[in-house]
Structure 1
């Protein structure tokens, strides 16, 4: 063994430079933290794996300043039409209608190699982020205030670095998870599938379905996805007795694609067999070691949420880690990471499993009963579902201690008139802790005054289109006005990851929420104990 002398100290060591690791590193870099990223591979994988993202994730990309760079590789996701045993349409999964609640197309497809390259470029643009490729993690040893990481460089040299925290974004076979002793729970889904990506010739595109599709045929279930440009994907269930590696061979792949294409119709980009699993880590933290992305969970791909889940992990974790590293919150804030993300993953995976099990039904009689039930659920017509209603809110964690309307849901992002132009709300207010007030409320001024007393939170009033109110932004499509009305509230406190901490109907309720924010962010037991005392003065 060849050893390099000395150890370098960082705030955070990110293990894995895929999308989750790259987003975590880019956000940590923007926040000023000394970050080391390592990956045992030396380049972006040049084949597509993830293919879908949603408006929540694109909102974070926009917050990071990446929307313009990534947009050329992103297109709207078509509706997904589900066809039953006899080829009849039984269900349609589509997007919510305009005006879009977060300001972007709600569901999108993208080219992973190109987008991942932009995520890496962004992370490496910060002088406080160091990226080392071809570097393998050997071991992690925790001390009271640091983690020592033993690394092996590409040239065989061994060395140590230390970091205040480690984030393992190193995939399903995560070395970080194994070293930290974090076990996986089986959510009971295990199916063999073949994933095929084709660059289809222009002349053959017209023969393919115009929407993405699920062919729920018990003889062999198949998913068809329309990717950007001429990229088309088939996910084909493998049958008992079929050898996964043999089915990846081009001659076998083209046989499976023969209902749609011939070898002359396109270029076989990738054919890879997978077992679609549903797994989640029991705990996502061991001291100063945390895991994210596929290291923490794996789910079937049926509504395209695999990468989205990993990027939710990164964004959830980084704003909390930022506060802890800056001494603004205690280390115990990080405990909410597992609480929030694990429950969200389990709930969403349950919905994905239900869709997947419906698609994967192999018994003919059961499949016919499924078709009849889905049509009955739609009132005798194909059932219409939006992808957005499938995504659950946060149920527990760093949220208001009292249940309030919309608590744990994603806060909308209206377009607002600002400086003679129309901009998305985040571009005007930023993406930290924010208080938003209904600018038409009689209590708006009192609400804003309360918000000004809390140094962690910026306060903004937003008024509906056509209602010029002093000291209020004016939205153009009444997205937020409708949201306030629907939930019966006039104020919302929103976290940096855009989840609603809590809502209020009047100044007294808002005052309680602001005390609650103080208690949860600062983790002061005395404050928490007195939260219900209206005479207590707020800690500055």
Structure 2
């Protein structure tokens, strides 16, 4: 457990992070790794105990490695086998199985318990003395009148007031963000609202169920089932208009929902951990920045859960923003670089929310005619390679051109992530390419590329990949060749900023 201050240290602080969930702790870690002084204001004294997020993809697993907890996280996660669609009677409509192994070795879909992840993140912060998690502190007011800083007026655990001041603040305080409310920032509703019951159960016996995500495509009672650990299971069910969580307060009353999965399991073997109502929304804040204050995670965007990207989007926000704040605070870039955060992340998050909304409607919307259509059409679609790729491919869209991503960059690589592969490390062992490049900008190039061909290449790491070298080098070389470029310039978040041919144009 990260030490929790009884009263806020005087500072000075470089960044104040409001909210100590996965997004806030990730942002604080990435900033602390760069030796910035960070105060995390969190109203809960310890890790919030109830499970919430349960899925992350391999792109976000990559961020966990950058945070320094990738290896530890492996002991707390379970790969998901794929997606099975069933009808209201639990007859199989289609099954989409994940078979492809990624070049990095990281599974494309990973199930976990959010409190486990938050404990890893908090324990990891013990290595970063510049970061202080102020548990039991609640934000009361903001002062943004100073042109050079923002001040957070907080309430200590003993009820006394205190002030924190820093050049920048990141609001990671959830869907009901206090910071967003204090700033008067409204959200755009993308047209989705459903009441769902979220149920978490511990059971020491294996359920007689296919080991992947089950989606019940029922227009009356849509549902989702997931195994998230050796003895942990989650169900999510759409609530009927007249129902409340009180109608499902224990295992016997829950059996009419979870019965198809637990018929042979006695009640005393099912430990109910959580049974709570959530209203799923699709919303995006109209602005993600107000002067020196930035919104991130659920404070900036809220998504339906159908493609498992809610928490993932928050960690992507943290990674995008952290290195830019560091670069600006050190004077290595003009403050206008920070404008690229919203320019890049807002369209990306909006796209993912719309995908989740569409997936939810396709799986659960419509009436009897829609159910019949799904019954006959889904088995056909399951045999379609493009459809299978859309449903199972964990790659997210490239970022749109922004103040840092140059429009003239070839479209195939512009704003995309550098492929994650393993390369030989200093001792000959295979390590992720991110570890080879380090926490800095980098140029990845084919042999023969002249430094003069790469504008603004220094200071950067320079990695030449041998088309005849290790498997990871061959994969990168083939990727560059297929994109018709000789080199790419990569920022610390592994996003490709620009690229070009091997030779200097004459």
TM-score, reference length from structure 1: 0.85
- Superposed, which structure 2 residues align to 1:85-234 within 5 Å? 87-95=90-98, 97-98=100-101, 100-142=102-144, 143-202=146-205, 205-234=206-235
Partner of 2:487: 491
Q: How far apart in 1 are the matches of 2:217 and 2:11?
A: 54
SS of 1:31's partner is coil
Partner of 1:426: 434
TM-aligned CA deviation for residue 431 of structure 1: 3.6
Shift in CA distance, 93/479, structure 1 to aligned 2, threshold 3 Å: farther
2:279 to 275, 281, 288: 275
TM-aligned CA deviation for residue 450 of structure 1: 4.4
Shift in CA distance, 232/499, structure 1 to aligned 2, threshold 3 Å: same
Partner of 1:393: 398
Q: Deviations over 1:125-180 (max 9, x none)?
A: 31211221111111111111011111111111112121101111111111111112
Q: How far apart in 1 are the matches of 2:58 and 2:24?
A: 20
SS of 1:507's partner is coil
TM-aligned CA deviation for residue 411 of structure 1: 1.0
2:298 to 290, 294, 300: 294
2:314 to 279, 302, 310: 310
TM-aligned CA deviation for residue 503 of structure 1: 2.5
SS of 1:28's partner is helix
Shift in CA distance, 378/255, structure 1 to aligned 2, threshold 3 Å: closer
TM-aligned CA deviation for residue 406 of structure 1: 1.7
- Superposed, which structure 2 residues align to 1:418-497 within 5 Å? 418=425, 419-439=427-447, 443-444=448-449, 446=450, 448=451, 450-451=453-454, 454-464=457-467, 467=468, 474-476=470-472, 478-497=474-493
Q: Deviations over 1:107-141 (max 9, x none)?
A: 21112112111101222431211221111111111
- Superposed, which structure 2 residues align to 1:253-402 within 5 Å? 253-261=254-262, 262-378=266-382, 383-385=387-389, 386-388=391-393, 391-397=396-402, 398-402=404-408
CA root-mean-square deviation: 2.5
CA contact (8 A) 1:22 1:120 kept: yes
Q: How far apart in 2 are the matches of 1:487 and 1:236?
A: 44
Shift in CA distance, 263/382, structure 1 to aligned 2, threshold 3 Å: farther
Q: How far apart in 1 are the matches of 2:207 and 2:25?
A: 37
CA contact (8 A) 1:375 1:382 kept: no
Q: How far apart in 2 are the matches of 1:435 and 1:383?
A: 34
Q: How far apart in 2 are the matches of 1:394 and 1:301?
A: 22
CA contact (8 A) 1:324 1:330 kept: yes
Q: Deviations over 1:259-318 (max 9, x none)?
A: 222523421111111111111101100000111111111101112111111000000010
CA contact (8 A) 2:103 2:472 kept: no
SS of 2:174's partner is coil
Shift in CA distance, 482/454, structure 1 to aligned 2, threshold 3 Å: closer
CA contact (8 A) 1:191 1:276 kept: yes
TM-aligned CA deviation for residue 85 of structure 1: 5.5
Q: How far apart in 1 are the matches of 2:65 and 2:461?
A: 20
TM-aligned CA deviation for residue 490 of structure 1: 2.1
- Superposed, which structure 2 residues align to 1:405-424 within 5 Å? 405-418=412-425, 419-424=427-432
- Superposed, which structure 2 residues align to 1:24-43 within 5 Å? 24-43=27-46
SS of 1:190's partner is strand
Q: How far apart in 2 are the matches of 1:5 and 1:365?
A: 60
SS of 1:365's partner is helix
CA contact (8 A) 2:108 2:394 kept: no
SS of 1:194's partner is strand
Q: Would you say how many aligned residue pairs link Structure 1 and Structure 2?
A: 492
CA contact (8 A) 1:89 1:382 kept: no
Partner of 2:503: 507
Q: How far apart in 1 are the matches of 2:314 and 2:475?
A: 28
Shift in CA distance, 263/30, structure 1 to aligned 2, threshold 3 Å: same
Q: How far apart in 2 are the matches of 1:103 and 1:382?
A: 23
Shift in CA distance, 433/195, structure 1 to aligned 2, threshold 3 Å: same
Comparing 369-378 and 318-327, the one that deviates more:
369-378
Q: How far apart in 1 are the matches of 2:244 and 2:89?
A: 28
Q: How far apart in 2 are the matches of 1:31 and 1:130?
A: 15
- Superposed, which structure 2 residues align to 1:39-118 within 5 Å? 39-84=42-87, 87-95=90-98, 97-98=100-101, 100-118=102-120
Shift in CA distance, 349/274, structure 1 to aligned 2, threshold 3 Å: same
TM-aligned CA deviation for residue 451 of structure 1: 4.7
TM-score, reference length from structure 2: 0.91
Partner of 1:240: 241
CA contact (8 A) 1:11 1:165 kept: yes
- In structure 1, list runs of 5 or more residues that go unmatched: 469-473, 510-533, 535-540
TM-aligned CA deviation for residue 426 of structure 1: 1.7
CA contact (8 A) 1:165 1:289 kept: yes
